[in-house]
């Protein structure tokens, strides 16, 4: 027993020292609080599984594409023919480009100048592993999946105090790695049901919610562990939601979300936005993109086209549902990697590299495709679309020019001024010179190799 106790004690003191160091760097961050952009909102939609960007925004008449894709190449005619767009980008003159035929809503947003596309974009790392790629992207440290915090966490920490009750929402059952280590994050499936169920007479306003009151004492939020912090956050959220008193959600008239978990998750975000609880950043997961098998039919129908249609319908509904907030809303859609140019023998596609990112919002310079198109002759590892734009460039521009946070070095350690060449995706100016100072918090950057996620220490009682 003594061994363990001592180990824990050592673990505690080492961790506390580390935390103290983190505290110092936090103070430095706090002095750099940005001036503007305080009511801006960012929604990050992650397409999990590796969305096939070449079916989403397709070089549909490029002979190399048609030959490699065979039956999976988008049909040139018929109901599902690609929706041709004007890239307004000279590097895209090697072929025609079109959105998938199932995505007329995105075509409308693109033509209306609200949607920008960045092709041949993504994580500049060789990995073809879903889980490594997601970790690298969401922790914001390509090549390092053991980073103890997510990029959104570091953005929120380095941008000063969150004013509202609900600054960060993960619309779903749990928080993604991009919010790792952020105790202010709230994971929620549905605001309406976010309350305690227990014996009625001890759960009423008249007596001051006695059960909740005792529970609050259990989770002071000051212990050195994630359970304590999450418990406290849960109780705070219950109280905030109770005060806001959300009913069943009714989207704006005429808005039609797709049925299923993606549409539900978007509606949860929309409802929380309208509750006006200070939401600044939300994450939405949309899975099911790992199309190794039976991806689509030659007529352009099938599994992946349907999923792309759902994405298009969902984004369109969400954007129009939030018509009163569009001016301060940016939505970014990304995936861990694209899929291989060549079709496989199961009429699917295996893990690839470069992909397309979508940026939607009232302040987006849309109606353009950004980044350089590398073509389909010179492929990454001889098989996959190359990456010409690092995903951190896209996120970095939104973080600085919309969210008003110039601490890119802390948010994306390793990103340099040389890599970070903003594309002009969004309106707005930098809040000041970009700070490339990396986060020095050892908790954020270093971790025991045996511990894959955030530091966790045993329950420590009331501190």
Partner 1 sequence: MTLTRRQLFGSGAALAASAVAAQTLLSAPEPALAACQALPPASPTSVAMNRLSNGMRARDLAAFNALGATPDERYERWVEQQLDPAAIDDSECEQRIAATRLKIRYETVNQVRPLDLLGASTEQLWTRVSDSMLAWEERIRPYNEVRVATWIRAVYSRRQLFEVLVDFWHNHFNVRATSEGNIAATWPVYDRLIRTHALGNFRTFTEEVGKSTAMMLYLDNASNRAAGGEGGNENYARELFELHTLGSDNYLKFYDNRGLIEPVSYGEERFPRGYIDDDVYEASRCFTGWTIANGRDGRPNTGEFVFKSDWHDTYPKTVLAVRPMEGIAPAPNIAPRQAGLADGQQVFDLVCFHPGTARHLCTRLARRLIADDPPRRVIDAAVEVWMANRRAPDQIRQVLRTILLAPECRTTYGAKMRRPLEAIWAYLRATEAQLPSDEESVGGDATRGGYWGSLFYNADLTGHRLFGWDTPTGHPDTASYWANTNALLVRWNNYYNMAQSWGGNVQIDIIGQTNLNEPCAQIVERWANRLCGFPIASWIQRDLATFLAFGGDVNAPPRPTSRAPDWGAIEGVHDRVRAMVHLLAMSPDFNLR
Write out the binding residues for partner 1, residues 187-206 only, by CB under 8 A.
187-189, 194, 196-202, 204, 206
**β partners of residue 168:** 185, 281
Decide: is 153 part of the binding site for partner 1 (CB under 8 A). yes
Q: Which of 70, 112, 113, 260 binds partner 1 (CB under 8 A)?
A: 70
| Cβ neighbours of 291 (radius 10 Å) | 25
Q: How far is the CB of 164 from partner 1 (least distance, A)?
A: 10
Residue 92 tokens, joined:
């895209």
Decide: is 161 part of the binding site for partner 1 (CB under 8 A). yes
Plot region of 221 (φ>0 → left; ψ -120 to 50 → alpha; else → beta): left
Q: Total residues at the site for partner 1 (CB under 8 A)?
A: 125
Q: Which of 35, 77, 90, 174 binds partner 1 (CB under 8 A)?
A: 174
In the window 307-346, what residues touch partner 1 (CB under 8 A)?
340, 342-346
| Residue 246: burial class (beta carbons within 10 Å; 0-12, 13-18, 19+) | middle
352 contacts 337 by C-beta, under 8 angstroms: yes
Phi and psi at 72, nearest 5°, equal: -85, -10
For partner 1, the closer of residues 211 and 244 by Cβ is 211
Q: Where are the alpha helices (DSSP H) in 94-172?
A: 104-111, 130-139, 151-158
Decide: is 446 part of the binding site for partner 1 (CB under 8 A). no
In the window 363-382, what residues touch partner 1 (CB under 8 A)?
381
Residue 113 tokens, joined:
């100048």
Residue 243 tokens, joined:
């005060």
Decide: is 461 part of the binding site for partner 1 (CB under 8 A). yes
The stretch among 39-47, 99-107, 175-183, 365-373 that binds partner 1 (CB under 8 A) is 175-183
The stretch among 184-192, 325-333, 389-397, 427-435 that binds partner 1 (CB under 8 A) is 184-192
The one-character DSSP state at 303 is H
For partner 1, what does the binding mask look like between residues 14 and 43, x meaning CB under 8 A? Answer: -xxx-xx-xx--xx--xx------------
In the window 195-254, what residues touch partner 1 (CB under 8 A)?
196-202, 204, 206-207, 210-211, 214-215, 217-219, 221-234, 237-238
Three-state secondary structure of 398-441: HHHHCCCCCCHHHHCCCCCCCCCCCCCCECCCCCCCCCCCCCCC
Pairing of strands 41-47, 329-335: parallel
In the window 87-146, what residues touch partner 1 (CB under 8 A)?
125-132, 145
Decide: is 186 part of the binding site for partner 1 (CB under 8 A). yes
For partner 1, what does the binding mask look like between residues 403 and 442, x meaning CB under 8 A? Answer: --------------------------------------x-
């Amino acid at each position: 027993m003594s061994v363990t106790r001592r180990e824990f004690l050592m673990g505690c003191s080492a961790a506390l020292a580390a935390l103290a160091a983190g505290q110092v760097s936090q103070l430095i961050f706090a002095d750099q609080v940005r001036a503007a952009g305080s009511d801006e909102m960012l929604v990050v939609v992650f397409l999990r599984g590796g969305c096939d960007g070449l079916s989403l925004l397709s070089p549909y008449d490029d002979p190399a594409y048609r030959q490699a894709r065979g039956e999976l190449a988008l049909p040139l005619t018929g109901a599902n023919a690609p929706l041709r767009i004007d890239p307004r980008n000279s590097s895209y003159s090697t072929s025609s480009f079109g959105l998938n035929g199932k995505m007329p809503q995105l075509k409308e947003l693109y033509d209306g100048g609200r949607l920008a596309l960045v092709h041949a974009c993504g994580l500049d790392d060789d990995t073809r592993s879903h889980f490594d790629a997601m970790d690298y992207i969401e922790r914001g440290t390509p090549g390092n999946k053991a980073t103890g915090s997510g990029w959104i966490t570091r953005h929120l920490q380095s941008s000063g105090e969150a004013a509202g009750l609900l600054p960060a929402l993960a619309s779903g059952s749990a928080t993604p790695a991009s919010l790792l280590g952020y105790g202010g994050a709230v994971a929620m499936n549905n605001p309406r049901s976010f309350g305690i169920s227990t014996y009625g007479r001890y759960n009423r306003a008249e007596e001051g919610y006695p059960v909740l009151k005792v529970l609050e004492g259990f989770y002071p939020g000051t212990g050195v562990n994630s359970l304590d912090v999450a418990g406290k956050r849960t109780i705070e959220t219950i109280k905030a939601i109770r005060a806001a008193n959300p009913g069943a959600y009714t989207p704006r008239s005429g808005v039609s979300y797709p049925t299923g978990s993606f549409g539900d998750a978007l509606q949860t975000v929309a409802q929380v936005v309208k509750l006006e609880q200070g939401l600044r950043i939300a994450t939405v997961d949309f899975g099911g993109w790992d199309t190794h098998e039976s991806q689509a039919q030659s007529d352009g129908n099938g599994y992946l086209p349907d999923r792309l249609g759902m994405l298009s319908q969902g984004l369109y509904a969400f954007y129009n549902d939030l018509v009163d907030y569009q001016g301060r809303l940016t939505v970014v859609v990304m995936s861990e990697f694209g899929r291989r140019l060549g079709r496989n023998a199961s009429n699917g596609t295996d893990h690839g590299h470069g992909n397309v990112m979508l940026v939607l919002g009232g302040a987006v310079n849309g109606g353009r495709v950004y980044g350089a198109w590398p073509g389909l002759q010179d492929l990454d590892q001889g098989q996959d679309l190359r990456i010409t734009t690092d995903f951190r460039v896209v996120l970095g521009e939104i973080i600085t020019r919309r969210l008003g946070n110039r601490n890119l070095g802390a948010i994306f350690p390793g990103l340099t001024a040389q890599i970070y060449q903003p594309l002009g995706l969004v309106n707005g100016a930098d809040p000041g010179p970009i700070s490339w100072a990396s986060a020095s918090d050892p908790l954020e950057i270093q971790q025991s190799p045996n511990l894959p996620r955030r530091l966790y220490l045993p329950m420590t009682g009331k501190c």
